Amino acid sequence: MMNQIQSLPAANSNDLRYDRDTDPLSSIPLTMLETILPTASPDFMSDIFDFFSLASYNWIFRLTTVTFAIISSTTYIWSRVLHYLSLYYETSITIDSDDPIHTHVMSWLAVNVSTRRLQARTAKASGYSEDQTRVMEYNASARDGKFHLIEWQKFTKPEFEPHVGEHIFFFRGRGFWITRNKDDSLAQDQLISGNQLSINKSEYIRISCWGQSADPIKEFLQESKSIYLTQECSKTRIFRAKEITWSPRWYCAATRATRPISTISLDESTKKALLRDVNEFLNPKAPRWYANRGIPYRRGYLLHGPPGTGKTSLSFALGGLFGLPIYCLSLVDTGMTEDKLLACFGALPNRCIVLLEDIDTVDISRRRDGSAGGDQGKGEHKTQMTLSGLLNAIDGVASHEGRILIMTTNHPEVLDPALVRKGRVDLEVPFGLATKEQIVNLFTIMYSHDYDDEEQGDEIAKEKLIAAALRFGDLLDADTFSPAEITEFLMVRKDDYWKALRDVTQWKEEVLAKREEVTKRFRELRDKRG
C-alpha cells in the first residue's frame, strides 16, 4: 500500500492555480453578468473569481492574524494608558456601608441614576409617611371602605438602586463613575456563639472622576447629604445596639414621624424650662463655653412620674424638635457587660439623645442600703453590671461628651442617690396625672383636622371645638386620669367628639370602679401574706 501511495504523482503547484476553463462559474453567460453588473467586464469578473478561489485563503488568514495582533496590541496599550491615567489623573473617595454618607449617596443614586443593572427591594415606608398619591389611588379603588392589606400592597412600588458593579452618572455636567462592592467575611471579633461564627457582611462604594482634585466628589457628597437630610427632617431616627458582641455597633432600627412638642401633656412652665435648657446646650457656642470653665460637655435629665404620663413621648418629641437621633439602650440585655456598655457610649455621635427607660427596674440602680422600695424590689431584673460600671459609662474619665442622657422611672424614690446626684442628673422633670388644662388640650389635639380645608377649618367649627373641649374638661376630674388613659378613650371615638362628650361620664365611673376593685384585691392579698 505504501508503494501505491508513493507511486501517486506529486501535486504540481501549477495544478492549484485557478483554471477559468474548468471552473463552473465560468459557464455563466457574460450577458447575464453584464445584466447584474452593468459595468463589469470579463477581466473584472475573473479577478473576483480569483479572489474567492481556494488559492486566496492564505491571504485572508494572514490578514486575520495581522488584524488580531493589532487589536490585541491596541487593547494592551489602551489598558496601560488607562492604568497610568487613573494612577496620576483619577481621584476617588471610598465610603464604608456603616457610615451615614453611604445612605445619603445610595438614596441619591436610586432617584437620579438610570442604569440597566438594578437591584430591587421592597419599599419600607412607615405609617406616618405614606405617599399621598398611593393613598388616593387606594381610596379610589376601595369599594366598601374596609382596609385589606393585600389590596394595599398592590399599590406599593418596589424601590430600585444600582446593583453591585460599576456605574456611570453625571452631576452638574461632570462625569463620575461609582463602583459598588460587597464583601462577606468573618467579623473582626469572630464571636463564637455555639457552633456559629459571626459573619460581617460589609459593603463599600468608591466614587471616582478625572482630575487631580477631589473637590467635585466632595460637592456631590455634600449635595446628596443635604437632599437626604431635607427629606428626613420630619422624621426621628431611632437607633439600637446590634447583638452585643465584642464590638457593639449602633444601627437605625426605625424612623418615625416627629411628634409635635405641643402634644406632650406637661406643665407649660416646666416644658419651657426644659426646652430652653436643651436649646442652650445644643448651641454651637456651648462646647467652648463648657471647655473654658472645665465643665464636661454633657447633660442629663430624669423624667419621673406614674405610668402613661408621657415620659417616653417627651423624649421622642425632643428628638423631633431639635433633630436629634435617639439611641435606646437596655441595661437588661443578656449579653450586656460593663465593657460593652462603655463601648456603646463610646460609639455615640455628638449631639444625640441616649434613652434609658425604666431605670428603676434594674437592680444596680436601686438603693444599696435597701431602705427604700419595699416590695417594689422583688421584680427587678438581674444584670452582669454594677452601679460603678454604669456611673463610669455616664460620666467617667473616658465617658463620651456631647450627648443628652434621659432616664425615665416610675419610682424615683428607690434610685440610688449616686445615680441621680447633681452633675449626672442636671434637671428633674416631674410628670403627673392630667390637669384640667391638659385634658382640654388633649381633646383639642385629638379632634383638630390634619389638613388645610377652609370648610372644615372655619372659625365656627373651631369655636364649637373649643367649647366642646372646655365641656369635656369640666366632666373629668383633674389629677385623676393619666394622659394615656384619656387619649385611649378619645381614640375609640376619634370621628365624633359629641359621642365622646356623651360617653365620658360612664367611662369615668367604670375606670374609678375598676381601680377600687384592684385596690381592694391588692389589700386582701397583702393581708393574707402579712
- What CATH number is associated with residue 332? 3.40.50.300
pLDDT of residue 243: 64
Is 412 found in the same domain as 266? yes
- What is the grid cell recorded at 195? 457552633
pLDDT higher than 70, residue 53: no
Is 180 found in the same domain as 164? yes
Assigned domain for 56 exists: no
Q: Which residue has the higher pLDDT, 4 or 435?
A: 435
Comparing 147-156, 322-331, 434-443, the range with the smallest average pLDDT is 147-156
pLDDT of residue 216: 94
Assigned domain for 371 exists: yes
Domain boundary among 207, 234, 261: 234
Which long-range contacts link 454-457 to residues 24+ away (Cβ below 8 Å)? none
Is 219 found in the same domain as 252? no
pLDDT of residue 5: 42
Assigned domain for 143 exists: yes
pLDDT of residue 140: 61
- Positive or negative, the CA dihedral 211, 213, 214, 215 is negative
Domain boundary among 211, 234, 257: 234
Quote the CA–CA distance of 448 and 9 in Å, as a whole number.
111
User: pLDDT for 382-421, tens place per residue?
Assistant: 566 788 888 988 887 767 789 999 999 999 998 999 999 9
pLDDT of residue 159: 80
Is 447 found in the same domain as 513? yes
Which residue segment(s) compose the domain that 267 sits in?
Answer: 240-430
- What is the grid cell recorded at 106? 445610595
pLDDT of residue 288: 95
* Strand bridging mode 299-304 / 427-430: parallel
Is 463 found in the same domain as 413? no
Quote the CA–CA distance of 157 and 99 in Å, as a whole number.
27
The residue to which cell 426646652 is assigned: 275
Is 450 found in the same domain as 357? no
pLDDT of residue 388: 87
Assigned domain for 65 exists: no
- What is the grid cell recorded at 225? 447629604
Assigned domain for 205 exists: yes
| pLDDT tier, 135 (very low <50, low <70, confident <90, very high otherwise) | low
The residue to which cell 447583638 is assigned: 243
Is 171 found in the same domain as 253? no
pLDDT of residue 400: 78
Is 200 found in the same domain as 161? yes
pLDDT of residue 162: 86
* Strand bridging mode 90-96 / 174-186: unpaired
Quote the CA–CA distance of 127 and 117 in Å, as a whole number.
30
| pLDDT tier, 482 (very low <50, low <70, confident <90, very high otherwise) | very high
pLDDT of residue 449: 72
Is 404 found in the same domain as 283? yes
pLDDT of residue 450: 54
* Strand bridging mode 326-328 / 235-241: parallel
User: pLDDT for 179-230, tens place per residue?
Assistant: 998 765 544 444 333 333 444 457 889 999 988 889 999 999 999 999 999 8
Assigned domain for 383 exists: yes
Assigned domain for 244 exists: yes
Is 293 found in the same domain as 360? yes
Q: How many angstroms from the chain centroid is the CA of residue 475?
A: 45
Quote the CA–CA distance of 462 and 468 in Å, as a whole number.
10
Into how many domains does the chain fold?
3
Is 267 found in the same domain as 185? no
pLDDT of residue 199: 44
Assigned domain for 22 exists: no
Which residue type occupies 231? Q
pLDDT higher than 70, residue 372: no
Is 333 found in the same domain as 300? yes
Quote the CA–CA distance of 472 and 492 in Å, as a whole number.
15
Domain boundary among 395, 430, 465: 430
Q: What is the percentage of the chain residues whose pLDDT exceeds 70?
A: 74
pLDDT of residue 405: 96
